[in-house]
Chains A and B, each alone.
Chain A
Amino acid sequence: MGMTMTQKILADHAGRKCVEAGELIKVKLDIVMGNDITTAVAIPEFNNTGASEVFDKEKVVIVLDHFTPNKDIKAAEQCKGCREFAYEKDIVHFYDVGDVGIEHVILPEKGIVAPGEVIIGADSHTCTYGALGAFSTGIGSTDMAVGMATGEAWFKVPSAIKFNLKGSLSKHVSGKDVILHIIGMIGVDGALYQSMEFTGDGIKSLSMDDRFTIANMAIEAGAKNGIFPFDEQTKDYIDIHSTKPYKIYEADEDAHYEKIYDINLSSIRPTIAFPHLPENTVTIDEADEIEIDQVVIGSCTNGRLSDMKITADILRGKKVNKRVRTIIIPGSQKVYLECIKAGYAEDFINAGAIFSMPTCGPCLGGHMGILASKERCISTTNRNFVGRMGHVESEVYLASPAVAAASAIAGKLIDPAKLKEA
C-alpha cells in the first residue's frame, strides 16, 4: 500500500523503505528546537542523559520568545539558564532579545527549516513548518533533551486525514478562517494522533503566510502534524529564505486516508471561535455583536507581514474605539522593520493601537496584555481555553486579523465588510 506524504518523510528518516500507520519507529532529526519555557525544563534532563555536547550545534535551535524581554525575576532566572546553556554548548541558532522573534515566524524566515525535513520543537505550534512540506511536530522538554543528546526521537507513525481544497478565498477571508472552519467541523480532537494533509487545486491560491497559519493550528484539532505539498510558491519562498539543501516528498497515489474532506475555499466566511474551545466556531454572519475590551493582533499564528498589511489596510486613517486596548505585535524583527518601512507602524499608532517588539507575550497570558475578570478579547492567536490570556473569568474570541482590526474600530465583533468608510 502507498504512503502518505508524512509517512514517506518518516520512513526516509528512519532508514526504511516503507512504514505503516501505528508502527513505533525511531527517526533522525534535522532540527530540535525549544523556547525559554520548555528549554528550561530540558536543560537538566539533557544533563541527566549523561551527554556532554549536543548532537549537532547547527541543528539545535533555542529561541527566547515567550517571557522576553524578561517579564519578572523568575522568568529572568529561567532565561539566564537558557543563555548560559546556549553559549556553553556553542548553539549556532540561539536567538535572544535583539534578534529574537516568535519561534515559528523566525525559523522559516531565517531559512533554518526546509522541505522534507523532520523537525521537533518543544512547543506545540511547531507543526507550523508543515507549510513548507516538512514533517514538523510539537513535543515536550524530555523529547527535546533526548533529541539534543542523540539526534533522534520516537514516533508512532500517524494515519492521515486528507483535506482537498478547491476554489479561492473571498475578500476579508484568510488562512485563519480556513483553519477555524476546519477545526469547527472536525473538533479539537478530530485529527487526534493523525496527520492533516492538505491537497487540491485550491492550495495554489493560498499564500505561504496563509499556509503557515493553517499548518500552525493543526494541533488545535489534535493533529500530530499538518502538511502542504511542495509547489512553485514553496520553491519561491525557499529560494528567497534558505540555502539549505532539501528534498521534495509527495504522497503516493494509493496512499490510505482515514477520511477525506472536500472544502470549497470560495464558500468560507470570516470565522470566529467563541470561548472556551477553538472548535466553538461561528461565521461572522451568525455571530452576535459582542462588545470587547481588547484586541490582540500577532502571534505565531498571525504575526507575519501579510497579517500586518491586512491590519494596516483596515486601520489606516481610522481610530480604534477608545475602550478597546489594541495591541499589535509583529512576529519578528524583520516583520517589525518591514512594517516601519511600509508605513504600517504609522497607521497602527495613528489609529490609537500600540505596536511593540516581537514576543509570544499575551497569547498565553504571559505578559503585555493580561485580561481581568469578565473582560473580552478578540485575538488572532490560537487558543481560547479558560484563563488562557488571564483571569479564569475572562473570554478570548479567536479570529483573523481582518475581523480583529475591524472589531477594534467598532468596539464590538464585526464583519470587516460592514465597517463604515471613515
Chain B
Amino acid sequence: MRARGRVFKYGDDIDTDVIIPARYLNVSSGEELAKYCMIDIDSDFVNKIKAGDIMVAGKNFGCGSSREHAPLSIKYAGISCIIAESFARIFYRNAINIGMPILESREASLDIEDSDEIEVDFSLGIIKNITKNCEYQAQGFPKFIEEIMKADGLVKQTRMNLSSNDKGK
C-alpha cells in the first residue's frame, strides 16, 4: 500500500475542534463533514486539497474530543495519509478503526515542509521526500493493528469474524 501527494503541514496539538467544529456535528455523513474539514485553522483547506494529498503535523495530533467525525472528515476530504510526531490516543484508534492510514515519525514531522511532495510505503514504514530527495523511517504497526488496517477497518473485520462464528455454529 502506497500513497503519494503534496503536503499540508500543521503544528503541535491540532485539536478535533479545529479539525471539525461542533457546529457541524449535527450531521454524520463523511461526505458532508468533509466540506468543513480544518475550517477553523485553515479555512481554504477544502478548496486547496487534491485527492491523495498528505497531512503532516507535530505532536499530539487530534487531541480533544472523541468525535470520529474528525478522522472521517479528513478521510473524505481526500487525504491519503496523516504523518505526525505523535497522535492523541482516541484519534489514533479512531483512524485505525476507520482504516485511515496514519504514521508516527518525529524525523519526518520535523523535516517535511508545507507543499513538499512525498511518497509513503505503509508496509515498510518508509516516507520518501521527493522535493528534498531524502527518506525517513516511521514506526510500523504491530501485527494486531495491521490486521485491522488490512481488513479496511474494525467494522469489516468484526463482520468477517461474526459471520465466520455463525458458520461455525
Contacts and interface: CB of A to CB of B under 8 A. Distances in A.
B17 interface: yes
A41 interface: yes
Contacts of A123: 65-66
B64 interface: yes
B28 interface: yes
B90 to A, nearest CB: 5
Interface in A210-246: 219, 222, 224
Contacts of B57: none
Interface stretch (A92-100, A111-119, A144-152, A166-174): A144-152
A72 B26 contact: yes
A366 interface: yes
Interface in A21-46: 24, 37-38, 40-41, 44-45
Interface string A124-138: 101000000000001
Nearest to A190: B60
Contact of A189 (B13, B17, B98, B155): B13
A140 B26 contact: no
A139 B66 contact: yes
A261 interface: no
Interface string A387-412: 11000100000000000000000000
Nearest to B33: A41
B155 A140 contact: no
B134 interface: no
A49 interface: yes
Contact of B97 (A50, A121, A142): A142
Contacts of B93: 139-140, 143
A40 B60 contact: no
Interface stretch (B46-54, B109-117, B118-126, B156-164): B156-164
Contacts of A139: 66, 90, 93-94
A51 B162 contact: yes
B68 A192 contact: no
A165 interface: no
A17 interface: no
B144 to A, nearest CB: 4
Contacts of A219: 90
Interface in A44-69: 44-45, 48-51, 66-67
A142 B86 contact: no
A40 to B, nearest CB: 5
Contact of B68 (A142, A364, A386, A392): A142
B27 interface: yes
Given A41-B69, A222-B63, A145 B28 contact: no
Nearest to A47: B155
A45 B72 CA distance: 13
A49 B151 CA distance: 13
The residue in A50, A146, A385 that gathers the most chain B C-beta atoms within 10 A of its C-beta is: A385
Contacts of A387: 17-18, 21, 40
A24 B145 contact: yes
Contacts of B40: 386-387, 392
B46 to A, nearest CB: 16
A71 interface: yes
Contacts of A150: 158, 162
Contacts of A38: 66-68
B66 A365 contact: no
B25 to A, nearest CB: 5
B26 A78 contact: yes
B22 A364 contact: yes
B98 A142 contact: yes
A38 B25 CA distance: 9
Interface in A290-333: none
B128 interface: no
Contact of A50 (B86, B144, B162): B162
B143 to A, nearest CB: 9
A275 to B, nearest CB: 12
A41 B66 contact: no
A75 interface: yes
Given A41-B68, A140-B90, A189 B63 contact: yes
Interface of B: 13, 15, 17-18, 21-23, 25-28, 40-41, 59-60, 63-69, 71-72, 86, 88-90, 93-94, 97-98, 142, 144-145, 148, 153-156, 158-159, 162-163
Given A49-B162, A122-B66, A222-B89, 10 more contacts: A37-B22, A50-B158, A50-B162, A143-B154, A146-B155, A188-B60, A192-B89, A222-B60, A222-B63, A385-B64
4 tightest A-B CB contacts, nearest first:
A74-B26, A140-B94, A140-B68, A142-B97
Interface of A: 24, 37-38, 40-41, 44-45, 48-51, 66-67, 71-72, 74-75, 78, 121-124, 126, 138-143, 145-146, 149-150, 154, 188-189, 192-193, 219, 222, 224, 277, 364-366, 383, 385-388, 392
14 contacts: A37-B67, A50-B159, A51-B162, A71-B26, A78-B27, A124-B66, A143-B97, A143-B154, A150-B158, A154-B144, A188-B13, A188-B63, A192-B88, A383-B17
